Amino acid sequence: MELHPSSRVTAADRPARSARPPAQGPRREAARGPAAAPPLPPAGDDDALASLPARLARALDVPANGGVPFEQLCRRIAPPVRRTSMAPRRWPPVIWPWRRNGDGNGNGNGRRRARGTPPQPRRLDGFGRRSMLTLLTFGQTVLATWSMTAVLPYHGSRPMEIAVLILFALLFFWVSAGFWTAIMGFFVLLTGRDRHAISATAAPDAPLPEDARTAIVMPICNEDVARVFAGLAATHASLARAGGLAHFDFFVLSDTNDPDVRADEMRAWLALCREHGAFGHFFYRWRRNRIKRKSGNLADFCRRWGSRYRYMIVLDADSVMSGECLTRLVQLMEANPRAGIIQTAPRTSGRETLHARIQQFANRVYGPLFTAGLHFWQLGEAHYWGHNAIIRLAPFIRHCALGRLRRRLGNVEILSHDFVEAALMRRAGWAVWIAYDLPGSHEEMPPNLLDELQRDRRWCQGNLINSQLLFAEGLHPAHRVVFATGVMAYLSAPLWFLFLLLSTLLLAIQTLVPPQYFVVPYQLFPVWPEWNHRWAIMLFSATASLLFAPKVLSALLLLRRGAGGYGGALRMAASTLAEALYSALLAPIRMLFHTRFVIATLAGWEIKWTSPSRDNSETTWREAIGKHGGHTLLGLLWAGGVYWLNPAFLGWLLPVVGALIVSIPLSVFSSRVSLGRALRRAGFFLIPEETSPPYEVRCLQQALERSPPPGGFAAVVVDPRVNAVACAIARRPRLNRPAGRFDAALAGGPEALDRQRKLDLLDDPVSLWRLHRQVGAIDDPYPEWRKAMERTHAPA
């Protein structure tokens, strides 16, 4: 291992080792310890800190004789702080639903706008379109509910049947809204003409002003380091290819509290900057106070450096964006001075498990239809999904700070911050748009069903918390609908489950209880209770048509444009049918999981927010049995009970109970990488990012292949460059160092240190430097450190 000259200990400086006969076997290992190699003279705090500028200069590729001050060297890790205030104004918002628009400060008078923002155009267009959506959805729901009364035995006249009708109306309204959204998206994409498209408001060759500085920020927390920095390297390479690097800076905003992952982050950041010559515009920031999770991390960036930039592009840990897409977003912001947020529609790719490949195919085929439909209804009051979007920083800092929400049992943090930030931005008079037709925005799907459900649990909790803001003062009606939609996305599961249970209970009552022919007082003619199977078939067919029509329309659009990137017309059609069957099987499974998530959230059960899996992880049989065993048992008992009551009714319930019965093998086999790769070789579930991968996706794969294995905490000790960076990032020297910690680390190696001791060392530049100096001075390192050197590719 080559150390910096200032840290190299020569033979003259090193105390002579005492002569001792070579030990054999275990005795030699027992002899290894602090006494086996006399330690170097202890380095004082002043010595350790005095050597840091020279070591940091070498780590950052600055000439040693350049005389660069230490403060300027640290600016290559993070730029100088320029403080600005970002605090919530009048929080929590007042619940005054009758006041539509506020002034951005919570005053809610409906007339004043945020300073510097012109009036919003196209308001009548948005109101007309949303009114049309409401009429179509309500009309269709009323017709379907009236048809449902003909199916029920007593035609909706009994209390339980009334409850069934109410649940049916809510669920059908939800399905109908999705159907009409897809229909409008189909016509937008079919005609190719959209006079309100935000992407058509700027010329592709419009120059970027010199002062239009943009920060590309990626908040991370205990993520897969190789995947994070491979995605950043691909985005950086694509931006350099597009010639836009001069206008962008990159920030890695780390909330990581795992010392091994944190060490790998510093090592990967240093390697990326050295490889691409990115020092000075590719920065790394580690946050000690991890408050408010991702939203707090972004707010911390805004307070420190937000005033240095006009725009901020937020990436997720699995995001990759092309240079053309990044520059295009800035062009659109410059051409639309009233735009506060422009959200892209990310395309999913990069996974190889069967489940992920099916979801990638569905996102690529059906996603454009729904995002175009959302844009048709929402216009400048659109969604913001928290990543792969550009934000105008000045109004974001002024109006989008988040506080806690009050609850009976205590305050609670806003978790799904993106919906709230979009609503606050629009409340302040700034538009939020979806650039649904802008290519070059990518992300990844969860590799298996259980990981996807784990992500859904976090989203469920966040959306239900946001329901407290549904009637907050000053919000635009469109964003109230966004909040309601987020709640309904998960509340529909327990409603559907309750609807099925009540339907089964109605069947049991009709079978086991003698019928009543006179159900109201003074009834002249009897009512003959019976299930109307003909109307039931008609209603079931109509509902299935609403659910599967968007899939058919999406396939027709692809056939019209050419399905070469999807394996050809026949394979694409077969993949669409298989995806429809797979989604039908997953729907009851998701129903039970989402029902449990809603109940857990409403009950106040704590949910641990962990980073999702970023690799092709597979589900084991043990995991599947533990997660789906109860569902399988419920499906068997439910099917048996319905068959005992009325065998003819089992056919109606079979799509639900049958999926629950096969949930265990379905979850296991759908997570297999081998099945996903086999279908890819056969040409099924293909997407254009696989058949003709764009430049940034190819760069991502190449960067992943070049990624070194994780080194963990040992990399900070044995690698002199990483050690110098870690010492520069660490706090000032600790005054009270726990006794014996340094000797234990030296003798036992990194495995002898627990999590907290590693964190303490990472926060103490003196102890970190002493440990690096002592290990590097030993001719024959301790076995534990020798293994660490081999793992980190640092030659001894």
Per-residue pLDDT tens for 330-384?
999 999 999 999 999 999 998 999 999 999 999 999 999 999 999 999 898 998 9
pLDDT score at 90: 72
Residue 750 in this model has a pLDDT that exceeds 50 = yes
pLDDT score at 25: 38
478-483-486 Cα angle (round to 5): 125
Residue 779 in this model has a pLDDT that exceeds 90 = no
- The tens digit of pLDDT for each residue in 100-134 reads 444 433 333 333 444 444 344 456 677 888 899 99
Band the pLDDT of 21: cuts 50, 70, 90.
Answer: very low
Among 148-152, 343-347, 742-746, the range scoring the smallest mean pLDDT is: 742-746
* Average pLDDT value for the chain: 82
Q: What is the distance between the alpha carbons of residues 326 and 217, in angstroms, rounded to a whole number?
A: 12
Task: Say which residue, 386 or 608, is predicted with more confidence.
Answer: 386
Band the pLDDT of 607: cuts 50, 70, 90.
Answer: low
Q: In this structure, are residues 417 and 402 in contact, taking their beta carbons and an 8 Å threshold?
A: yes
Residue 311 in this model has a pLDDT that exceeds 70 = yes
Band the pLDDT of 241: cuts 50, 70, 90.
Answer: very high
Mean pLDDT of 140-155: 85
pLDDT score at 142: 93
Band the pLDDT of 236: cuts 50, 70, 90.
Answer: very high
pLDDT score at 264: 93
Q: Residue written as tokens 């709640």?
A: 487
pLDDT score at 774: 77
Band the pLDDT of 676: cuts 50, 70, 90.
Answer: very high
Q: In this structure, are residues 441 and 321 in contact, taking their beta carbons and an 8 Å threshold?
A: yes
Band the pLDDT of 520: cuts 50, 70, 90.
Answer: low
Note the pTM of the prediction, 2 decimals: 0.86
Residues 6+ apart with CB under 8 A from 94: 106, 108, 472, 473
- The tens digit of pLDDT for each residue in 168-194 reads 999 999 999 999 999 999 999 998 888
Mean pLDDT of 231-237: 96
Task: Say which residue, 616 or 794, is predicted with more confidence.
Answer: 616
Token representation of residue 218: 């990626």
Percent pLDDT > 90 in the chain is: 47
Residues 6+ apart with CB under 8 A from 710: 225, 226, 260, 264
Residue 8 in this model has a pLDDT that exceeds 60 = no
